[in-house]
Amino acid sequence: MANSDRKRVVITGLGAITPLGNTPDEYWQGLTTGRSGVGPITAFDPQHHTCKIAAEVKGFDPLAYMDRKDAKRMDRFAQFAVSASKQALADAQFDITDLNAEQVGVMIGTGVGGLRVMEEQQEVYLNRGPSRCSPFMVPMMIANMAAGLTAIHLGAKGPNSCAVTACAAGSNAIGDAFRLVQQGYAQAMICGGTEAAVTPLSVAGFASARALTSRNDDPLHASRPFDRDRDGFVIGEGCGILLLEELEHARSRGAKIYGEMVGYGMTCDAYHMTAPVPGGEGAARCIQLAMKDANLTPDQVSYINAHGTSTPANDPTETQAIKTALGDQAYKVAISSTKSMTGHLLGGSGGIEAVAATLTMVHDQVPPTMNLENPDEGCDLDYVPNQARALTVDVVLSNSFGFGGHNVTLAFRKYKP
């Protein structure tokens, strides 16, 4: 599609259920004050696990957003998605009616879907037999159900899908939704990522893959992206949702506009199941494609919300990718990893990080990378260490990279009529 035929896409609503708070405002306050959402695991007894900490969502009550019957028939990852989506629509003052329902769609990504229900039902199967498994097990655990149930609860009859690209899933879902609005297939899209994988089997599996931190005695400082002493990521949970809307539609109803989405890049490393390609070639191309899609030059980029997982492999590789993509400008752009406070939400990370990217433009304030005390010699860029920074932010890039070699970069711009 020619650039002249593309519709402008703006952000008109935000929703967030996170380890730092269960609204966008609470989440943003946590980010900018450098508060950690990491602590001892409470969802199960981690006594026999090597990793005993996580970034859990606290104080979430699904009954604030749905009735008890519906809540019991949803895995936690879907509860998060429906709740955050309702927040975003309320924030945007957007009503889905019989007149517009077919023009409103849902794209919500997840990495592992309803793992909690799957594990619980496996126990039922082993201990009580196959006849005692829940008839709701399959619809509760399948990954697409966050998007499906959100559409059911909100009455959105437009395009509906679910990206399942590991830790890139939330960003893929937002990018795919962006394309649909941009090309005229929908007037509005509810999009983002959700995850609730703080479960015994998930934590055991990631720990066995040597992906998780073992800093159990110091949870507040366990997630330390770009730091020399990082030893793995902290698993987190939650959901971040954007309401993307075609500009003229948003203006016609007098909507407030947080910012504009302007670019989407995605590539594959085609290299390894879990490790990034050395040198970050795939991630660099991804960043460049997003900038090209948005018609941006490196000197226009104000801030990058990094994937920044706090793993030995990711952080120097992403650093090199940014250098390759931005050239000398890489040393002049502010970069931070909000995972230093939220942990890594897997497929939900792109969702909450897109919310953070949006609020960074709104407030002209960059969240810090916490716990960056001894920078790795391979990580020599400006990671906004340990304290938020006031900065005029016109353009933001948000990176998400997933197992399987999936790379996604989203580009956002401060809205200008």
> pLDDT digits over 218-269, tens only?
999 999 999 999 999 999 999 999 999 999 999 999 999 999 999 999 999 9
pLDDT in tens, 5-27: 899 999 999 999 999 999 999 99
* Res. 294 pLDDT band, cuts 50 70 90: very high
In the predicted structure, residue 276 carries a pLDDT above the cut 70: yes
CATH architecture of 264-410: 3-Layer(aba) Sandwich (3.40)
Q: What is the pLDDT of residue 2?
A: 59
**Tell me, what amino acid is at 323?**
K
* Arithmetic mean of pLDDT over the chain: 97
Residue 98 neighbours by CB distance under 10 Å: 8
- Model confidence band, residue 197 (pLDDT cutoffs 50, 70, 90): very high
Q: Taking each helix axis as running N to C, give the angle between helix 169-182 and helix 349-363, from 0 to 180 degrees, rounded to the nearest 10.
A: 60
pLDDT score, position 4: 66
Tell me: pLDDT of 150 over 80: yes
Q: What angle do CA 410, 317, 326 make, to 5 degrees?
A: 55
Give the pairing type, strands 160-161 and 365-366: unpaired
Burial class (CB in 10 A: 0-12, 13-18, 19+), 291: buried
Work out the average pLDDT over 282-304.
98
CA distance linking residue 371 with residue 230, whole number of Å: 9
Element (H, E) at 179: helix 169-182
Whole-number Å distance between alpha carbons of 113 and 150: 14
Taking a C-beta distance cutoff of 8 angstroms, is the pair 357, 26 a contact?
A: no
Out of 1.20.120.450, 2.20.25.90, 1.10.1200.10, 3.40.47.10, select the CATH number for domain 9-252.
Answer: 3.40.47.10
Please report the beta strands in 120-258, taking only residues with DSSP state E, as ranges in sequence order.
160-161, 188-195, 238-246
The model's confidence at residue 281, banded by pLDDT at 50, 70 and 90, is: very high
With H, G, I as helix, E, B as strand and everything else as coil, classify residue 309.
coil
For residues 167-179, give the mean pLDDT.
98
User: Scanning the structure block, which residue is given the tokens 């980010």?
Assistant: 31
Residues 6+ apart with CB under 8 A from 224: 230, 310, 340, 370, 371, 372, 373
> What is the amino acid identity at position 318?
E
pLDDT at 233: 97
Q: What's the token pair of residue 385?
A: 């260490």
Q: pLDDT category, 332, cuts 50, 70, 90?
A: very high
Catalytic positions: 167, 307, 344
What are the tens digits of pLDDT across the range 367-398? 999 999 999 999 999 999 999 999 999 999 99
* DSSP letter string, 357-383: HHHHHHHTEEPPBTT--SB-TT--S--
Identity of the amino acid at 307: H
Q: Is the pLDDT of residue 215 over 90?
A: yes
pLDDT of residue 389: 98
Is the sign of the CA dihedral 284, 290, 291, 295 positive or negative?
positive
Residues 6+ apart with CB under 8 A from 383: 225, 226, 306, 308, 335, 336, 337, 369, 372, 375
pLDDT for 199-214, tens place per residue? Answer: 999 999 999 999 999 9
- The type of residue at 37 is G
Tell me what pLDDT residue 5 has: 83
pTM value is 0.97
| CATH code 3.40.47.10 region(s) in the chain | 9-252, 264-410
